């Protein structure tokens, strides 16, 4: 029997990452980055307005001040080329580049027109220098790390990567994980239960857990028959990167998994961990290419050991 920390170390030391592949950004959510991704450009790329309002000089924009309204209007898109002169305010919209000469934006709610022709505005609430301006690089600076190797790609990081103009991203190929449940008594949900049978909850639970952390789950089942178990495990070794076996790893007369694994040439790294529930946990390797996780058949123990070690 070994301790939990030692078990984790052995698993990490024995398990390799999969190959790296490039996929469209739109297909990367939930995958893990195969390389560190850095920012190629500043974001935002230019100083821009955080509000609809007026671009102004903050020193001339105190409560009660009056400013003339320039004819130019700066919307999101190309810079119209207007310079904000002293005593002047330029109409501006959210996301638009801040024109030269302005050092603040005042919200449209904080002004009112001071004449009928709407050529002047009166300041109702003054602003400070830099207020309501999103500075260049305030989100991400060129060269800054935006996603580390091995980090999970979330919808938020997809948006961040898209802001850099990257259409494709490197990810670790999703591993195929064979999930093998064992036992004569197990029946899939939706089937009729005969006397002494129970529904197979480990299979769906473990498949969902594997999919949640980025794997591709394939479900298998074998009765308490060592020859059938051997055939199913042999097939799993040929198709997947990982094999998770739920049940049959303890010391009962009908716990055949360890014996079958040994017969097939699998190398056990350890069996039994000092955790409760989940003591009869097994980890091994087959031909240095398939990692094997043997979980107890009890659903609570299976979930605990999967969460701790898989």
Is 36 a residue whose pLDDT tops 70?
yes
List, for residues 283-296, the tens digit of each pLDDT value. 999 998 999 999 99
**Quick one: pLDDT at residue 252?**
62
* Strand ranges for the chain from DSSP E: 20-24, 37-38, 48-49, 53-56, 66-74, 88-92, 104-107, 111-113, 120-123, 133-134, 145-147, 168-172, 176-182, 186-187, 198-199, 216-222, 242-246, 267-271, 282-286, 290-295
Is 258 a residue whose pLDDT tops 90?
no
Is 257 a residue whose pLDDT tops 90?
no
Is 253 a residue whose pLDDT tops 70?
no
Is 308 a residue whose pLDDT tops 90?
yes
> What domains does the chain contain, in order, with CATH numbers?
4-18+175-309 (3.40.980.10), 23-43+147-172 (3.90.105.10), 48-134 (2.170.190.11)
Give the mean model confidence (pLDDT) for residues 255-281: 89
**Quick one: pLDDT at residue 254?**
65
**Quick one: pLDDT at residue 15?**
86
Pull the structure tokens for residue 300.
């609570």
**Quick one: pLDDT at residue 209?**
96
Place of tokens 């307005």: 49
Is 1 a residue whose pLDDT tops 90?
no
- Grade residue 231 by pLDDT with cuts at 50, 70 and 90: very high
List, for residues 114-125, the tens digit of each pLDDT value. 998 999 999 999
- CB neighbour list of residue 138: distance below 8 Å, 6 or more residues apart: 44
- Grade residue 176 by pLDDT with cuts at 50, 70 and 90: very high
Burial (CB < 10 A; 0-12, 13-18, 19+), residue 265, is: exposed
Is 205 a residue whose pLDDT tops 90?
yes
- Grade residue 98 by pLDDT with cuts at 50, 70 and 90: very high
Note the pTM of the prediction, 2 decimals. Answer: 0.74
* Report for 23-27, 181-185, 271-275: range of highest mean pLDDT: 23-27
**Quick one: pLDDT at residue 310?**
85
Rounded distance between C-alpha atoms, residue 181 and residue 183, angstroms: 7
Pull the structure tokens for residue 241.
């990167």
Q: What is the mean pLDDT of the chain?
A: 93
Is 256 a residue whose pLDDT tops 90?
no
SS3 (DSSP) at 143:
coil
**Quick one: pLDDT at residue 4?**
93
Length of the chain, please? Answer: 310
**Quick one: pLDDT at residue 288?**
87
Q: What b/e readout covers 25-35, taking b as 16+ CB neighbours within 10 angstroms?
A: beebeebbbbe
- Grade residue 248 by pLDDT with cuts at 50, 70 and 90: confident
């Amino acid at each position: 029997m070994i301790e939990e920390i030692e078990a984790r170390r052995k698993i990490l030391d024995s398990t390799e990452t999969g190959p790296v592949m490039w996929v469209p950004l739109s297909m990367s959510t939930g995958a893990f980055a195969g390389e560190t991704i850095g920012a190629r450009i500043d974001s935002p790329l230019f100083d821009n307005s955080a509000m609809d309002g007026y671009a102004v000089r903050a020193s001339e924009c105190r409560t009660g001040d009056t400013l003339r309204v320039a004819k130019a209007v700066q919307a999101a898109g190309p810079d119209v080329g207007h310079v904000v002169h002293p005593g002047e305010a330029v109409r501006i919209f959210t996301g638009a580049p801040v024109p030269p000469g302005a050092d603040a934006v005042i919200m449209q709610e904080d002004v009112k027109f001071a004449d009928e022709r709407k050529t002047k505005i009166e300041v109702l609430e003054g602003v400070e220098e830099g207020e309501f301006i999103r500075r260049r690089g305030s989100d991400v600076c060129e060269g800054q790390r935006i996603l580390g190797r091995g980090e999970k790609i979330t919808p938020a990081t997809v948006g961040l990567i898209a802001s850099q103009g990257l259409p494709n991203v490197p990810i670790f190929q999703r591993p195929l994980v064979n999930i093998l449940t064992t036992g004569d008594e197990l029946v899939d949900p939706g089937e009729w239960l005969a006397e002494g049978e129970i529904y197979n909850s480990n299979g769906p639970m473990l498949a969902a857990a594997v999919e949640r952390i980025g794997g591709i789950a394939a479900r298998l089942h074998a009765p308490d028959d060592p020859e059938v178990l051997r055939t199913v495990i042999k097939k799993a070794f040929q198709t997947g990167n990982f094999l998770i076996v739920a049940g049959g790893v303890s010391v009962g007369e009908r716990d055949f998994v360890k014996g079958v694994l040994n017969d097939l040439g699998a190398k056990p790294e350890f069996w039994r961990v000092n955790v409760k529930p989940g003591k009869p946990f097994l980890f091994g390797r087959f031909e240095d290419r398939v990692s094997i996780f043997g979980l107890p058949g009890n659903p609570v123990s299976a979930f605990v050991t999967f969460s701790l070690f898989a």
